[in-house]
Every structure is written in structure tokens, then in C-alpha cells.
Amino acid sequence: MEIIETIDGMRKAIAKAKSTGKKIGLVPTMGALHAGHISLVKAAKKETDFAVVSIFVNPTQFGPTEDIDKYPRPFEADRKACKDSGVDIVFAPTVKEMYPQQNITWVNVEKLSEPLCGKTRPIHFRGVATVCTKLFNIVQPDIAFFGQKDAQQTVVIKQMVADLNMPLKIVVCPTVREKDGLAMSSRNKYLNAEQRKDAPLLYAALQEAEVFIGAGERKSSFLKEQMKKLLSISSRTEIDYISIADAKTLEEIDEIKGKILIAMAVKLGPARLIDNIVLDVE
């Protein structure tokens, strides 16, 4: 496994792999790899011939009051996890390498970047779309792999790829969960023991909504109320949002019908956790 820190080095390695007819898979990450990331690597290994994992804590997707400084960067463990799962190249550029000059070019996916997490993180998805464009242009993958846990991100990136005719396919892999249901996230490390005990409430609330819908409930407002009540079992949870939206347009819906996304962001101590499920309802 090669570790490459420069864009030029990456371009050369990719040109070499492509010249032998290899299909390139990219897993873009911010490091602090967990089983969710590894499931993306496995998908890349299965569907392509050459797996690239990028590790880059992208400053342009963090707001001024967010956690970029304390975001975990366990590079040695990440390197080992990549090696153990058969990654071909880890692309780990510095901030200076990715943004050598003040960045003034932004890729912005309007509408889809604004609701849900976009409300409290107004520049987040512009930063995500821009850095993914950069990574796609550097690595030139045939397929890029994203996790369903970041539901809004997957919708934004798919729309961007379609609107800008980017020459790659996006594959979204299922959320990987701890045994108690908590979605894997690098930010779970922020939780202390008490907070960690409460964290499965997010998925429990999503499952509760699914059960109600299965039983015939179709009113979003009722479902949101039930989820709120369940989350408030813990006095430590602070709800950022609970959304029930069209899974493609991310517009809130009043009546449950069609392909819907139920998503939430909940603060638990120092961590802001997100989770979601997608349902197809007749």
C-alpha cells in the first residue's frame, strides 16, 4: 500500500493504474476510520480493481465555531486499517496541498444544501461539494463510495455529479451500526460513558417511526412528536432537527408517501450526532 501526500504523485499513480486498464474506486474520508468506512473500502474492493482512500479533514466544510481543531486524526491507526483491508493507495494531502491559495471557486448545490443540516451548517455542503469535486478531479475514480449515514451528503453529491456530468458513478452503502443501534461515526469518540449510553436513542426513535408507519400512520407531525418524546427520555439530548422529507428533493412532507427520508441531528454533550432511515411507503 502506498501513502501519497501530493496531487502530482496521485495523478501519476492513477495514470499508471489506468494505463493497465484498472477501474478506480475512491472512498473519500476525513480519517478516524471505523467499521462504516471499512465497509466502503470493501465495496470499493469488490466493485473496482484499485481502491483509493482519501484522508483529508477538509477545512472548507467546517463553520467557524465547529470542531475542526479537535476532530480526531489517528493517522497511524487509519494507515493500519487501510493496509489490513487491502487499500491500494491512501491519499493524505495537507491543507496547503489542497488549498495552496485562497480558494475562491465553489461548487454549490442549491436547495439541497439548505434544509436539514444546512440550516445550522450553512457552508457545510458547499465545502463538501467543492472538496469532492477536487478529489474526483485528482483521483478520477470510476466509482466513489459514500455512506448512507450522511444522507444529505449523498443526495447533494449525486445531484452534483448529475448536474455537472461528472464522469463517475456514486455508490451509497448502508449505515453500519454498533450492536445497540448507534450509527458508527468518528464523532462518537466525543461521548463520555453517560452520553454514550443515551446515544442509541436516535436510532430507537427512527425505528419507532418505522413501526408507526408500518402500522398505517401517515402524519409527519404525529411521527415527529413521537420521536421527540422518545429522544427526551434522556435529559442530555438536545434536538437540532427532526426531518421527514422527500428522499430526493429533501423537501419536508406532511403526509408519508413514496420514498421518504427520516433524518435527525441531536446534540449529546460535545457531539452533534446524525442518523437517518429511508423508507419506501405505498
Instruction: Please report how close the Cβ of residue 141 comes to a second copy at its closest, in angstroms.
Output: 12
Catalytic residue among 37, 121, 134, 224: 37
Instruction: Please report how close the Cβ of residue 223 comes to a second copy at its closest, in angstroms.
Output: 28
Rounded CA-CA distance 97/6 in Å is 7
- Residue number with CB closer to a second copy (101 or 235): 101
- Residue number with CB closer to a second copy (109 or 274): 109
Instruction: Please name the amino acid found at residue 14.
Output: I
CA dist list (Å): 145 to 171, 204, 212: 5, 26, 32
Contact, 48 vs 85, CB < 8 A?
A: no
Q: Read off the DSSP letter of residue 70.
A: T
Chain contacts with a second copy (rule: CB under 8 A)? 7, 11, 101, 103-112, 129-130, 133-134, 137-138, 140, 159-160, 162-167
Nearest one of 48, 49, 58, 55 to 82, comparing CA atoms: 55
- Tell me whether residue 37 is one of the annotated catalytic residues: yes
Instruction: Please report how close the Cβ of residue 19 comes to a second copy at its closest, in angstroms.
Output: 10
Helix axis angle, 151-163 relative to 124-139, nearest 10°?
Answer: 60
- Residue number with CB closer to a second copy (42 or 158): 158
- Residue number with CB closer to a second copy (104 or 193): 104
Instruction: Please report how close the Cβ of residue 260 comes to a second copy at its closest, in angstroms.
Output: 20
The CA angle 90-92-94, to the nearest 5 degrees, is: 170
Q: Which residues are catalytic?
A: 37
